[in-house]
């Protein structure tokens, strides 16, 4: 007998999930997983914010499986808390240590809700709850507090500008933590991006703007590090 709880599920969403997967299966080439069925060697580990508007693989134009290792959490944080000590999150370290990955990216996004909430808490608001959310906000608040005390954030600007400057500051902060960790080999390249779907950095929705290359954050210097056709993908709200 089917239980009462099972009968009350959302038929429409479940049907969309099942139908979407059926389309996915039908569209896959017959050998789609042949190269990765017994192992993975992703080119990059890309830690993104857990946000339904940020497509972790599509933003790179990736269709092949096994290319991008995609851990995520609220605020695209590269760390976790271990008995009061900040350590590099296992989702970032796993592909570096066990799958031959030697490039890491941190991808923030415009209008980030986690950064916004951390900003509100840092300026006097209560934590939003529940505890599983508060944990990650608490880890982010010190970053925001440091940012607000720096000369990189225009505290007198409108709220949208401040939030998006904080988004970029957080990307840089996370990149620095990763590069400075003894757990991350020196040969791992670390790149920071901000995914823009609100026209903050430019007028192309979905553009990832390169804001950090192995610790370099000056957009003019970064522009010299990439081919000329990608110069418009280098921009900063902090300079």
pLDDT of residue 230: 96
pLDDT of residue 1: 47
> CATH assignment of 38-233?
3.40.1050.10
pLDDT of residue 131: 97
pLDDT of residue 5: 61
pTM comes to 0.95
pLDDT of residue 143: 98
Q: Which residues of the chain have pLDDT under 50?
A: 1
- The pLDDT tens digits for 161-212 are 999 999 999 999 999 999 999 999 999 999 999 999 999 999 999 999 999 9
Distance CA 163, CA 108 (A): 12
Q: Measuring CA to CA, which residue among 171, 167, 193, 192 is closest to residue 111?
A: 167
Residue at token pair 């060697």: 41
pLDDT of residue 237: 98
pLDDT of residue 10: 75
């Amino acid at each position: 007998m089917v239980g009462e709880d099972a009968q009350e599920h959302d038929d429409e969403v479940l049907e969309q999930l099942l139908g979407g997967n059926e389309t996915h299966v039908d569209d896959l080439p017959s050998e789609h997983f042949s190269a990765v069925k017994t192992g993975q060697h992703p080119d990059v580990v890309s830690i993104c914010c857990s946000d339904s508007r940020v497509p972790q693989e599509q933003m790179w134009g990736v269709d092949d499986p096994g290319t991008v290792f995609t851990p995520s959490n609220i605020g695209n944080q590269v760390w976790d808390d271990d008995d009061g000590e900040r350590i590099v999150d296992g989702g970032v370290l796993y592909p570096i240590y066990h799958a031959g990955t030697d490039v890491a990216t941190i991808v923030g996004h415009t209008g980030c809700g986690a950064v916004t909430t951390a900003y509100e808490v840092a300026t006097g608001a209560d934590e939003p709850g529940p505890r599983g959310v508060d944990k990650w906000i608490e880890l982010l608040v010190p970053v925001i507090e440091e940012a607000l005390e720096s000369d990189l954030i225009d505290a007198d600007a409108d709220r949208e500008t401040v939030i998006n400057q904080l988004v970029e500051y957080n990307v840089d902060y996370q990149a620095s933590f990763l590069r400075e960790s003894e757990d991350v080999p020196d040969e791992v390249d670390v790149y920071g991006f901000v995914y823009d779907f609100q026209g903050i950095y430019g007028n192309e929705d979905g553009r990832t703007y390169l804001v950090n290359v192995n610790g370099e954050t000056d957009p003019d210097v970064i522009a010299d590090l990439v081919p000329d056709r990608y110069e418009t993908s280098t921009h900063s709200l902090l300079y």
